[in-house]
Structure 1
Amino acid sequence: MGFFRHLTEDDFELSTVCHRPEGLDKLQEQTKFTKKELQVLYRGFKNECPSGVVNEETFKLIYSQFFPQGDSSMYAHFLFEAFDTNKNGSVSFEDFVMGLSIILRGSINDRLNWAFNLYDLNKDGCITKEEMLDIMKSIYDMMGKYTYPTMQEDAPREHVENFFQKMDRNNDGVVTIEEFIESCQKDENIMQSMQLFDNVI
C-alpha cells in the first residue's frame, strides 16, 4: 500500500494518541478503519505532511519516491484530483482517509464509482477515449520503460480501444457510470484488476 508501506506491525502496537485529528471518532464512523488504524494512518500522514494537508506538489513528490523508475507526476496529478473532493487544491487527512477507505475497504460498487471518478478527468459524468488514454499513458509512464521494456508505444491506445469495446454499450464514443459499472461487474478480469488499486495507491 504505497504511502504507508514502511509502517510495520510494531507501529500498530506502539501507536499512541499523541496527536489526533479532532474528528477521529467521526472518521471511524464514516470509514471502514479501526481507531488504531486511523491513528497509524494519521501518524504516517503527519510524518509526510506536517502541515496536516497535502498539496499537489507534495503528492507528486511522495509518488516519485515510490516509483523512481518512471515519471509518476501525471498519474499523481490525476490521483490528487480524485482525492481533492472539494476542489480546493489541497487534500486533508480526512479527504485522504475517506478515499483510502473506499479504495481498500469499500464495496465493489464504491470502488467502481471511485475508479470512474478518477478516469472522468473533467468530472462531466462520462469517460472519453482521450481521458482514458491520458490515464493509461500516465500509468505506463509511472511504471517506467525499464519495468516493461517489451511494451510497445501504442500499448496504451490498444488498452483504451479494448476498454471502449467492452464498455461503450451504445457506441456513442463515451462511457457513462452505468455502462462502466455494469461492464466491470460482468468482467472477471476487471474484477481481479480492482485489486491492482491496492498496489498503485
Structure 2
Amino acid sequence: MGDKKPQHQISMAASAIALRGVRLFLSVGRAAAEKRAAPPPRPRRPKTKLVLPANKLQQKVVDMLLKNTKFNKNELEALHTMYRRLVTTAQTAVPTTGSIGQPVAKVDGIDQCTFRDVMHNTFDLVTEEAVLDRVWLTWERGPTGGEGALKFETWAHGLSILLRGTDEERRVHCFAVYDLNGDGYITKDEMFTLLKNCLLKQPGDEDPDEGVRDLVELVLKKLDIDKDGKVSIDDYRQAVEKEPLLLEAFGQCLPSKRHATAFMKTLSTK
C-alpha cells in the first residue's frame, strides 16, 4: 500500500497522464531506432537479433480482429504501431548478454512489465498488485494459458474489452480477475485476500483482519444471490445488474470512461 498513489492526486492529472502515456508509446520507437542506428560502443558487445513483430498487419489478422473486436481498420493499424514500439522498447532495454556471457533471449510480445506500465500510465489503472497480476493472467492466450508475452491479437482483443466492452464482457472480465483460483466461484477466502490489501490499518487496531472479515460478510450478502456461501458468475451478474457499483467491488479492473475516451481519441488522430 505504501507505493500506491493517493487517488485524488491521480484524478487531478488523469487526462494528462493518459495523453502523455500514449504520446510516449508513439515516440519511443523513433528513439529506439536512433539508438540502434548509432555506432556500437567499444569494446563491442555480442549482438542479439531482435524478434520484432511484422511491420504491417496481415490481411487475415485484420479480418479476424474486425470480427472479434470493436476496433475499425484504422484503429487496429494504430494499435499495431503502438504494439511494435512497445515491444521494440522493451527488447532494447534487455541486456544483450546474461551473467555468464550468453545471449539473452528477447521476448516476442508485450511482457508483464510493459503491460503494467501501460495499465498504470495510460489507463490510470492504479490498483492492488494482486489485482493487476490477475488482469494480466486473465487475458486470453490460447494454449499458453496465463504464461508468456502478449501477441498482437491478444493485445487487441483485451483492449477491446477494456475500452469498448459490453456490460456482459466487462462483468465476465472482472469476475475472472476476482476468481483467484479460476474454479468458477469467488469464495470468502478470495474476498478476504482481495479486500485485505485494500484496507489501511488504523492506529490502535489490534486485529485488522476482523474488520476485513466483517467487510467480507457485508459484500457477500450483496453478491451471494442464491445464498450458498460463495459467488458464482450468475450471482455476480445479477448483483451487478441491480447495483452497478458492485462491478469492481474487490479492486479496479477497468479504466475509467474518461481515460478510455481519451485513449481512443488519440488513436483516431493517428
State the AA in 2 paired with 1:33: F
1:100 Cα deviation after fit: 1.8
Q: Deviations along 1:139-192, whole A, 9 cap, x unmatched?
A: x49xxx8xxx9xx96676555433211111233221001111011101143369
Closer, same or farther in 2 for the Cα pair 1:61/1:158, shift >3 Å? farther
Bigger-Rg structure (1/2) = 2
Structure 2: runs of 5 or more not aligned = 1-13, 27-53, 89-106, 261-270
* 1:20 aligned residue: 56
1:55 Cα deviation after fit: 3.0
Q: Are the aligned partners of 1:64 and 1:73 in contact in 2 as well (CA < 8 Å)? A: no
Partner secondary structure for residue 19 of structure 1? coil
* 1:89 aligned residue: 147
Closer, same or farther in 2 for the Cα pair 1:191/1:171, shift >3 Å? closer
2:127 & 2:247 partners in 1: Cα distance?
27
Following superposition of structure 1 onto structure 2, how do residues 27-46 of structure 1 map, counting pairs within 5 Å? 27-46=65-84
Q: Are the aligned partners of 2:138 and 2:177 in contact in 1 as well (CA < 8 Å)? A: yes
* 2:48 aligned residue: none
Q: Whose relative contact order is higher, 1 or 2, with alpha carbons under 8 Å and at least 6 apart?
A: 2
Superposition RMSD on alpha carbons, in Å? Answer: 4.0
Q: Are the aligned partners of 1:63 and 1:73 in contact in 2 as well (CA < 8 Å)? A: no
1:176 equivalenced with 2:232 (yes/no)? yes
State the AA in 2 paired with 1:7: V
State the AA in 1 paired with 2:221: Q
1:192 & 1:124 partners in 2: Cα distance?
19
2:165 & 2:127 partners in 1: Cα distance?
29
* 2:193 aligned residue: 134
Partner secondary structure for residue 225 of structure 2? coil
* 1:15 aligned residue: none
Structure 1: runs of 5 or more not aligned = 12-17
1 or 2, which has the higher strand percentage?
1
1:127 & 1:80 partners in 2: Cα distance?
18
State the AA in 1 paired with 2:81: R
1:159 & 1:42 partners in 2: Cα distance?
43
Q: Are the aligned partners of 2:240 and 2:247 in contact in 1 as well (CA < 8 Å)? A: yes
Aligned residues: 183
1:197 & 1:71 partners in 2: Cα distance?
10
Query: Which residue of 175, 179, 186 maps to 1:120?
Result: 179
Q: Are the aligned partners of 1:121 and 1:131 in contact in 2 as well (CA < 8 Å)? A: yes
2:152 & 2:212 partners in 1: Cα distance?
33
2:235 & 2:196 partners in 1: Cα distance?
23
State the AA in 1 paired with 2:137: E
2:117 & 2:160 partners in 1: Cα distance?
22
Structure-1-length-normalised TM-score: 0.69
Query: Which residue of 203, 222, 243 maps to 1:187?
Result: 243
Q: Are the aligned partners of 1:60 and 1:73 in contact in 2 as well (CA < 8 Å)? A: no
Partner secondary structure for residue 118 of structure 1? helix
2:66 & 2:122 partners in 1: Cα distance?
28
* 1:78 aligned residue: 134
Closer, same or farther in 2 for the Cα pair 1:109/1:62, shift >3 Å? closer
